[in-house]
């Protein structure tokens, strides 16, 4: 396991006792570790806490090793998995990803899982996205495919945050809330 992954995982484990149970976890790799979730959350009113347990450079294999400490121990009600971008050269990535989903389902059977597709192009991305889509049942495991064409990185973050934001709520948006969110 890479040193930065172990260090970050230990830091996350160290604050588990101050997290609230039944909330939302984003568990991902490089892209989600730098995604400005908290800045965007400050603009919206959500009834749930969201914990970003993403680590730069995290592979699916490493995620499987640290998932108990970083995710399972805080008993979330929803988990967003955004992994796979660091695994192009791992021939076992889909087996490892399937094992990760199985571990989450067995340890947190009531938790909803959202599997976030990789963005970009190429055979690996297409094969990986098809693989994770096959794990979805549309009920407790859902697939999210991000919008991928925007002119700037901030516009891309905003568009993706809008896509995710509906899942961070326990109730439907009111019309006034939707109009406020549309102005992100």
Residue 101's CATH number? 3.40.50.1110
Element containing residue 116 per DSSP (H, E): strand 112-116
User: Count of alpha carbons within 13 Å of 131, Cβ hemisphere only?
Assistant: 19
Instruction: Give the domain range for residue 94.
Output: 3-182
Q: How many domains does the chain have?
A: 1
pLDDT at 140 over 70: yes
Q: Note the pLDDT tens digit of each residue in 36-71.
A: 666 666 666 667 788 999 999 999 999 999 999 999
Contact 110, 78 (CB under 8 A): no
For the entire predicted model, the pTM comes to 0.79
Pick the range with the lowest mean pLDDT from 71-75, 77-81, 108-112, 120-124. Answer: 120-124
Q: Which of these, 134, 54, 145, lies nearest to 101 by C-alpha position?
A: 134
Q: Which residues sit opposite 116 in a β-bridge?
A: 144
């Amino acid at each position: 396991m890479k040193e930065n992954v172990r260090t970050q995982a230990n830091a996350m484990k160290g604050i588990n006792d101050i997290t609230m149970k039944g909330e939302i976890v984003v568990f991902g790799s490089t892209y989600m570790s730098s995604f400005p979730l908290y800045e965007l959350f400050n603009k919206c009113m959500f009834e749930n806490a969201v914990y970003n347990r993403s680590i730069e450079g995290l592979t699916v294999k490493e995620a499987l090793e640290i998932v108990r400490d970083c995710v399972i121990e805080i008993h979330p009600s929803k988990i967003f998995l955004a992994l796979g971008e660091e695994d192009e050269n791992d021939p076992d990535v889909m087996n490892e990803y399937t094992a990760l989903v199985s571990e989450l389902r067995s340890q947190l059977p009531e938790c909803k899982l959202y599997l976030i597709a990789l963005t970009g192009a190429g055979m690996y991305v297409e094969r990986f996205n098809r693989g994770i889509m096959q794990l979805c049942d549309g009920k407790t495991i859902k697939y999210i495919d991000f919008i991928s064409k925007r002119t700037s990185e901030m516009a891309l973050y905003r568009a993706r945050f809008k896509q995710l934001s509906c899942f961070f709520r326990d109730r439907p948006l009111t019309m006034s809330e939707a109009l406020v969110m549309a102005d992100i």
